[in-house]
Amino acid sequence: MAGMILLNDAQLRRLASLVRKQEEANIFYIKFESENDQATYLRECKANYTTAMEILDAGNNLVKEYSSDSVRESIANDIYSTIEGSLNSAFQWMRNYNLRKAYLEEIKGFSTGAIDIVKTLDPADTEFARDLAKAAADYKKAMWELNKKCMSARSEAVANMFDQMGSGATMDTLIQRAQEKLKLSGSFDKLDEEDKIRV
């Protein structure tokens, strides 16, 4: 099995679409007992894709809705990160159609429940807000750890590097870091083509 890489929202949407098309193409290789079974399979392929899109949309809407709310913003971001991590695992390391279908249903249940709790949260209830923030951060961390275990060694090293760099992970800092590692000085633009490729 190839190592997993963490995909962002747009990449997850594309992967979900590709998986749907692959599952639909499998009808030529699966022997169905009836046309109704085949139609049910195709409906479920579409439903899996639709569920993934609905989950991503709900997470995006949650983050946008509470982007300026000091209490709910971090909770919404952690929930969305957990959703992205869950969908990464669903589409990358769950090869079995039925297992992925069941897992997507679980993700939808989790995300719907978590989003409802955030929406009904009373910002004045600081103790509950703090507990909810801790729970959301714990879920995010657990999903991150699960996905890290499924990564190849190279993907994991890159993910750890970005994790350590935090918000300082920009293209300029990555280029500077590579230049220092290769002992190249000066501006990237002034390097010769061979050195640029090495960086």
User: Looking at 63-192, which runs of residues are DSSP E strands?
Assistant: none
Q: Mean pLDDT, the chain, as a whole number?
A: 85
Cα–Cα distance, 74 to 137 (Å, whole number): 9
Q: Which residues contact 100 (CB under 8 A, 6 or more apart)?
A: 19, 48, 90, 91, 94
Question: Token pair of 95, please?
Answer: 């090869």
What would the pLDDT profile of 69-91 be if each residue is shown by its tens digit? Answer: 988 999 999 999 999 999 998 99
Work out the percent of the chain whose per-residue pLDDT is above 90.
Answer: 50
Stretch 80-108: mean pLDDT, rounded?
90
Q: What's the pLDDT at 160?
A: 64
Residue 162 has pLDDT above 70, yes or no: no
The least confident of 28-32, 55-59, 93-97, 164-168 is 164-168
SS3 category, 5: coil
Q: Quick: pLDDT tens for 15-47.
A: 999 999 999 999 999 999 999 999 999 999 999
Percent pLDDT > 70 in the chain is 84
Please answer whether residues 107 and 121 qualify as being in contact, where contact means their C-beta atoms are separated by less than 8 angstroms.
Answer: no
User: How many CA atoms does the CB half-sphere of 107 hold within 13 Å?
Assistant: 31
pLDDT confidence bin for 161, thresholds 50/70/90: low
Could you give all domains of the chain from N- to C-terminal order, each with its CATH number? 9-152 (1.20.120)
Backbone φ, ψ for residue 109 (5° rounding): -60, -45
Top pLDDT among 146 and 1 is at: 146
What pLDDT score was predicted for residue 1?
43
Is residue 159 scored above 70 in pLDDT?
no
Which pLDDT score is estimated for 83? Answer: 94
Least confident of 95-99, 159-163, 174-178: 159-163
In sequence order, the 6+-apart residues with CB closer than 8 A to the CB of 147 are 4, 6, 85, 88, 89
pTM greater than the 0.75 cutoff = no
